[in-house]
Amino acid sequence: MTDRELLAREAARLLPGGAGLPAASELDLVWPESLPPGDDALLLVVADTYYAHPAVRAALGYPGPRSIPLPPLPDARDAELEPLLERVRARGPIYRGAGGCEPPQGYAGSS
């Protein structure tokens, strides 16, 4: 059995589909000629090939890595965190002073 035949057989067994996802055996998956080095290489190639297929990604709602420019920073969606940050600040320094770097209010933790 070639590596490709092995991969196709294992994919059909491991990934039978359901819950709206297609079965691996229903897809035109392109298998590499040989397995890469490393532990779990078979599982890795089976999963990577299956979950890279557009039909699987569409069904899962996962677009895959893609280029998305950042919004202007700081992110407006994080503005709701400002009152929470203010409470973190209000609790005061939590680092332990040493070597001449002492927190202004002293260290409140135990040791």
Partner 1 sequence: MRVVCLEQGDWHDPADFPGARPGYETAMRSTWSADPNVRGAEADYPIAVDRAEITPLMFAGVGGSTILYNADWCRLRPSDFRVRTLDGVADDWPISYADLAPHFDRTDVEFRASGLAGDPSLPPTPAFPHPPLPVGRGGRLVAAAHDDLGWHWWPGTNAIAPAACVQWGTCLEGCPAGAKASADLTHWRQAVAAGADLRTGARATRVVVDARGRASGVEYLDREGRSHVVEATIVVLAANGIGTPRLLLLSGLANRSGLVGRRLMVHPFATVAGTFDEPLASWVGHAGPKIVSYEFYETDAARGFVRGAKWSLGGIAGPVGIALEGWAGWGEGHAGRMRELVGRTMSWGVFTEDLPEEDNRVVLDDVLTDSDGLPAPRVQYTISENTRRMLRFHADRAAESLRAAGARELHEEVPVRASGWHLLGTARMGDDPETSVVDRDLQAHDVPGLYVADGSVFVTSAGVNPTSTVVALASRLADHLVAAA
Shortest Cβ distance from residue 68 to partner 1 (Å)? 5
- DSSP annotation string for 59-99: HHT---S---PPPSSS-GGGGGGHHHHHHHHHT---SPPBT
Report 42-81 residues binding partner 1 (CB under 8 A): 43-45, 47-49, 51-52, 60-71, 73-75, 77-78, 80-81
d(CA 22, CA 31): 17
Tokens of 46: 């089976």
Q: Which residues contact 51 (CB under 8 A, 6 or more apart)?
A: 57, 60, 62
Q: Which of 1, 28, 33, 109 binds partner 1 (CB under 8 A)?
A: 109
Q: At what angle do helices 41-51 and 3-14 cross, to 10 degrees?
A: 70
Shortest Cβ distance from residue 32 to partner 1 (Å)? 8
Shortest Cβ distance from residue 4 to partner 1 (Å)? 15
Shortest Cβ distance from residue 27 to partner 1 (Å)? 13
Residues that bind partner 1 (CB under 8 A): 13-21, 36-38, 40-41, 43-45, 47-49, 51-52, 60-71, 73-75, 77-78, 80-81, 84-85, 87-89, 91-101, 103, 107, 109-111
